[in-house]
Amino acid sequence: MNVVIIGSGIAGLASAVRLAVAGHDVTVFESNAYPGGKLSEINVNGFRFDAGPSLFTLPNLVTDLFKLAGKKPSDYFEYEQIEKACNYFYEDGTTFTAYHDKQKFANELITKLGIESTKPLFKYLNKSAKKYALTAPLFIEKSLHKLSTYTNFNTLKAVANLATYQLNKTINEVNESAFKDERLVQYFNRFATYNGSSPYKAPGMLTMIPHLEHNIGTFFPKGGMIAITNSIYKLALELGVKFVFNSIVEEIKTLGVKNNKVVKGVMVKGAFIPADLVISNADIHPTYTKLLKNEPQPEKLLSQEKSSSALIFYWGIKKQFPQLDLHNILFSSDYKTEFKHIFSYKSIYYDPTIYINITSKYKPDDAPQGCENWFVMINVPANSTQNWDAYIAQARKQIITKINRLLKTKIEDHIVAEEQLNPLTIESKTSSFGGSLYGNSSNNMYAAFLRHKNFSSSIKGLYFCGGSVHPGGGIPLCLNSAKIVSEIINEDYS
């Protein structure tokens, strides 16, 4: 069948590979001059930065694509496991390293936080693993909108263990009941940001996220995060997938009436491109409001609260900091107020939590000798007509002040290169509505069920993948969305 994919984000690339392997004729239209969407890179004055996602978990979801195509994964893509998941810095002077090795991590907490017993930690991580094992087959790996998902053993098992999910509690409430130390609560609350949500609103079920980091591990792709994009793109080309860059899809064309329509193709630069199937890897909001503007709009879904966005400074630093590693977090002194600013006030808190990613720690050629490439990010609200020029200028000062205080430096003296990404530029470059990184937020207990399904019920041949639809944002979930779409298409047209 002739398939058109709108967008070459990670889910679009993975969908292209899966459908090409299945024998379909696949063409990908991309508005940018490069593939990858958010998973791209920036080069400035001898420094290289991964532009978007910086955390890599579940590498099997990438290598599975090469195996599916009958290729040897290591011929295309290699990675290494990271011993230190992240370094953490608190305003009270506490610092610790979250090691992959659970016993080593426990010993670190005894030494640095002074906790008396590690039993609560191991109990928590075991419960996180159990939640993931029960949840993943239903909420992550399958469509929630197909009857077949609910008529198998995994679903019955998941339903039987419903109390385990702690849906009636927030992430923060679960963590406060598990740990006495406020710093440890804040540490585990941080995992809500992995899907752009607030730990004070998101359901306790999401405390399964630490399982990925602590029980499975974090990894670094050789070549940086961009190697994920480049390797899958290379595979897609070898499989015969056609890519058309600098090409904005203007409309998805359909034929029929009401709920009995069929997709016919897309309009690109005023020309009609016929297609048997169309998959939108674009954000679901502009997919409907721009590409399907003449179709009934899912207004309730489109009006839901959006996930957080990001303000990122890419700094070339003419110095090396041995106390930092690949991933580093400088925590806010008032986490709850910080999230209130993001989701309630739609503003930036004066004391934001700062994430610093330094790939030159593992890939030295990402920075000149004696230098480091700092990807400096804070969570911010999605765009809703804020004065971003003022916000960004103020946030930059606050970020520098906090870094100087916690790392005992004067970082502004070492910045020799700088680029920036904010909600406005994220939206313009990736069509993510408001610059939201993960589509709708997960700030309620029904969030998993409120994401748009991976197919259209009213337009035959129309499908959806990517971070704004089921199962959600982030590399692992986007790759799963591609798998779900390919499986549904196989069912629909087998």
pTM: 0.95
Judge if 359 and 287 occupy the same domain: no
Does residue 485 belong to any structural domain of this protein? yes
Residue 100 lies in a domain: no
User: Does residue 96 lie in a domain region?
Assistant: no
Nearest of 197, 178, 143 to residue 447 by alpha carbon: 197
SS3 sequence of the chain = CEEEEECCEHHHHHHHHHHHHCCCEEEEECCCCCCECCCCEEEECCEEEECCCCCECCCHHHHHHHHHCCCCHHHCCCEEECCEEEEEECCCCCEEEEECCHHHHHHHHHHHCCCCCCHHHHHHHHHHHHHHHHHHHHHHCCCCCCHHHHCCHHHHHHHHCHHHHCCCCEHHHHHHHHCCCHHHHHHHHHHHHHHCCCCCCCEHHHHHCHHHHHHHCCEEECCCCHHHHHHHHHHHHHCCCEEECCCCEEEEEEEEECCEEEEEEEEECCEEEECCEEEECCCHHHHHHHHCCCCCCCHHHHCCCECCEEEEEEEEECCCCCCCCCEEEECCCCHHHHHHHHHHHCCCCCCCCEEEECHHHCCHHHCCCCCEEEEEEEEECCCCCCCHHHHHHHHHHHHHHHHHHHHCCCHHHCEEEEEEECHHHHHHHHCCHHHCCCCECCCCCCHHHHCECCECCCEECEEECCCCECCCCCHHHHHHHHHHHHHHHHHHHC
The residue out of 382, 397, 430 marking a domain boundary is 430
Q: Mean pLDDT, 10 residues at a time, over the chain (494 residues)?
A: 98 98 98 97 97 97 98 98 98 97 96 95 96 84 71 61 71 96 98 96 94 96 98 98 98 91 97 98 97 93 94 98 98 98 97 98 98 98 96 98 98 98 96 94 78 94 96 95 97 89
CA distance 129 to 207: 9
For the record, the structure tokens of 489 come out as 């298409």
Q: Which of 430, 449, 476 is the last residue of a domain?
A: 430
- pLDDT at position 221 is 98
Residues 368 and 423 in one domain: yes
**Amino acid present at 472:** G
Residue 235's DSSP bridge partners are none
* Number of domains comprising the chain: 3
Domain boundary (191, 213, 235) is at 213
Q: How many CB atoms lie within 10 A of CB 262?
A: 12
Domain membership flag for residue 28:
yes
What tokens does 32 get? 């940018």
Residue 464 has a pLDDT of 98
Structure tokens at 38: 């958010």
Of 431, 438, 306, residue with least CA distance to 381? 306
| 233 plus 267 within the same structural domain | yes
Domain that holds residue 360: 305-430
Spatial distance between the Cα atoms of 490 and 461, rounded to a whole number of angstroms = 12
Residue 95 is assigned to a structural domain of this protein: no
- Both 352 and 404 in a single domain? yes
Q: What is the CATH number of the domain that holds 72?
A: 3.50.50.60
* Same-domain pairing of 27 and 44: yes
Q: Give the Cα separation of 423 and 92 in Å (integer).
A: 31
Residues 244 and 208 in one domain: no
What CA–CA distance (Å, rounded) separates 312 from 328?
Answer: 14
* CA within 13 Å, CB half, 265: 10
Q: Are residues 426 and 311 in the same domain?
A: yes
Is residue 203 a part of any domain in this protein?
Answer: yes
Q: Per the domain annotation, does 47 fall within a domain?
A: yes
Q: Are residues 310 and 194 in the same domain?
A: no
Do the domain assignments include residue 284? yes
Q: Are residues 189 and 240 in the same domain?
A: no
